[in-house]
Structure 1
């Protein structure tokens, strides 16, 4: 074999090793929840057990996010073969760890916006799991999960990310308040919502965002949560903390 050929082969091998390899449905055990086929590895089961301890409005939201996303992915064979289904499961199940209002939560910080708390928490959960191996959960794979969670409260960026980050964020969007996503197959949507009802989701979300604005205001300025502070938290005032205020300070238009 020529030297150039050897170098090319080695380069390709290095690239393949460094890149996160999608774990498609053919490589992982599965189960069916609310009529939707999903990944059934131990780490996914343990993530499910973790969020099951949260109040139902949060637990059900995380489950709907996972299942609605999985159902939409399942409906497209090409997409299903491309998405890292285990990463998608963990990214969606754990995306709102930053909503944990329990005292001394291990997931919530005072300084980070809730999406970042969720992203850091998900990565921490994976790296502390008994099955964790750096060669399996490599840096690039973890980064895709982090980005998918961290971007879910920001509009307009995720459609241009990699397929895994994109579908974690998109799946969160499938479970919004006061709308039914067109992308999700109707039968799957109905079966998931029947199993995990949305009755108290709106009230729970408003309570949570208001709590964030009241307890960690610095992490809410310049985010959509700022609006909840302005509307519902006495004394909350974002003026002087916003990018707008810094940019326009001292400017006198002629």
Structure 2
């Protein structure tokens, strides 16, 4: 075999490793929750058990995020075969670990954006799980989950990422306040919301964002959370914290 042929084969092998396919979706155990078929591995069950300890509004939001995304993926056979369904489950179930307002939360930092807290927390949860194996939970696979969570509060980037990151973040977007996502089959949307109600979500989200601004303001400046501090937290002041402020400091525009 020529040297160039050997190099080509090695390059092809490296490309295959760098672009992992779903880890045996067709062989994963499943269950049905709120009328939606979902992955039912032990690590997914344990992630579910973890968020069930959170206040109802947060638990229900996390579950809706997972199920709304899963229902949409299930409706497209090609998509269902391509998305890493276990990674999607963990990325959506654990995406808001950074919302944990309990005292001495193991997931919440004093200064990071809540999305980054959630991303770090999800990866740490996976690595600490008894089923964790580096050959299964590769760095590439973990990075897809990390990015899917870390980018869910930043608009305009995730549509151009890999399919797993994109679908974790898109699924979070399906559970916004005051709207019904057109992508989700309506009968599935209704069954999910019936089991995991949305009535307390708006207040819960506003209270959480306000708490973030009050307790870790440096993690909220220049983000969509900032206006909650301006509106609801006495003494909160983002003046000088914006990129615009830093870039234009000392500049006088010519008329």
Which band: TM-score by shorter chain? over 0.9
Q: Which residue in 1 is equivalent to 2:87?
A: 87
Alignment length (residue pairs): 254
Report how far residue 16 of structure 1 moved: 2.4
Q: Which residue in 1 is equivalent to 2:69?
A: 69
Q: Distance in 1 between matches of 2:116 and 2:67?
A: 22
Q: Which residue in 2 is equivalent to 1:210?
A: 210
Secondary structure of the residue that 1:26 maps to in structure 2?
helix
Report how far residue 174 of structure 1 moved: 0.2
Q: Distance in 1 between matches of 2:200 and 2:81?
A: 35
Task: Name structure 2 gaps, 5 residues minimum.
Answer: none
Report how far residue 4 of structure 1 moved: 4.1
Q: Which residue in 2 is equivalent to 1:252?
A: 252
Q: Distance in 2 between matches of 1:197 and 1:253?
A: 52
Q: Distance in 2 between matches of 1:27 and 1:236?
A: 51
Report how far residue 3 of structure 1 moved: 4.7
- Root-mean-square deviation (CA, aligned residues, Å) is 1.2
Q: Distance in 2 between matches of 1:143 and 1:180?
A: 30
Q: Distance in 2 between matches of 1:160 and 1:253?
A: 36
Q: Contact between 2:30 and 2:38, CA under 8 Å: does it hold in 1?
A: yes
Report how far residue 218 of structure 1 moved: 0.6
Task: Give the alignment's TM-score, normalised by structure 2.
Answer: 0.96
Q: Contact between 1:24 and 1:80, CA under 8 Å: does it hold in 2?
A: no
Report how far residue 23 of structure 1 moved: 2.6
Secondary structure of the residue that 2:26 maps to in structure 1?
coil
Q: Contact between 1:51 and 1:59, CA under 8 Å: does it hold in 2?
A: yes
Q: Which residue in 1 is equivalent to 2:233?
A: 233
Asked if residue 142 in structure 1 is aligned to residue 142 in structure 2, the reply is: yes
Report how far residue 245 of structure 1 moved: 1.1
